[in-house]
Amino acid sequence: MSARSRIVVQQRAWAEAAGHRPGPPGYLGSVDANLRAPMTPATLASFQAGGGAELQEHPRQPAKLRALYSSAALAVNVFDYWTGRDAAPLLTALGIDDRALRIEFEARFPIGTEDHPPCVDVAIALASGMSCGIECKFTEWHTPRRPAKIRFKEKYFPAGEELWRSRGLPACQSLAQELQHGATRFRFLYATQLLKHALGMASQCRDGFTLLYLYYDWTGPAAREHRREIEQFAARVGAELRFRALSYQQLHTRLRECAAEHTAYLDYLGARYFPA
């Protein structure tokens, strides 16, 4: 059984123990059933306006946020709790020495006047003026990406322009060009997506930004390669992006230490995503 399949089995076991009846291939009856609590109004509005169509219901395809293995649902279950609360424990667990002003989902950082700018899963506006963009992954990275899926659209390489370099990201420009021409390949890490986020944030965040990669870890050969690719990406562009990577498992352990009084929230996360 693949790592992704084992995660889905784990999630189905949680759902059945919680009294839900997940249908094939692992969707619950509603979005709210898949969440610790209904989304706050601001978060709901962000997903309604977002480009990921997470809430759209189709005759043959339920809303993505109803899936037990939804990375968006995982992000909401972890981060939306802190919307409207003092997020100091969350920032401590994330390793951010600052104060949160705002937590936003599906945050848009246009690189120009394009209709569909890059959307960062979670963005935290900080009191220092910096922004922290967080790319969140659950099961997606377990499936190796085909070469055609790891390249950019041509709009990222307009004639006579170097978009990343023009925004102060020369190392990102070099890596993006290598990826586009097949000289470098990442099979498990969504490097092109991270570079798009970096370009968008560099275009919009005048006071600077950091990029955090938050992923649900799992054992196995793919996990080892995934970690190697994270290290490779960090070595190439980490200093330029203030890039860091953190697993959800590490984040949950840290939250247990610095947010111990938030018992119900932590117990939900533990029972669902981090069973002993």
For residues 164 and 199, the answer to whether their CB atoms sit within 8 Å is: yes
**Helices 221-241, 170-180: inter-axial angle, 10-degree rounding:** 140
pTM of the predicted structure, to 2 decimals: 0.95
* Whether pLDDT at 118 is above 80: no
Question: Looking at the 3D structure of the chain, how many domains does it have?
Answer: 1
* Whether pLDDT at 115 is above 90: no
Q: Tens digit of pLDDT for each residue in 214-230?
A: 999 998 889 999 999 99
Which pLDDT score is estimated for 80?
98
Residue 113 pLDDT level (bands cut at 50, 70, 90): low
List Cα–Cα distances, 85 to 79, 141, 205, 252, in angstroms: 11, 31, 24, 18
Q: Tens digit of pLDDT for each residue in 162-211?
A: 999 999 999 999 999 999 999 999 999 999 999 999 999 999 999 999 99
Structure tokens given for 241: 């992006």
Residue 128 pLDDT level (bands cut at 50, 70, 90): very high
Nearest-angstrom CA–CA distance, 153 and 170: 19
The string over 120-158, giving b where at least 16 C-beta atoms fall within 10 Å of a residue's C-beta and e elsewhere, is bbbbbbbeeebbbbbbbbbbbbbeebeeeebebeeebee
Domain of 117 in residue numbering reads as 3-273
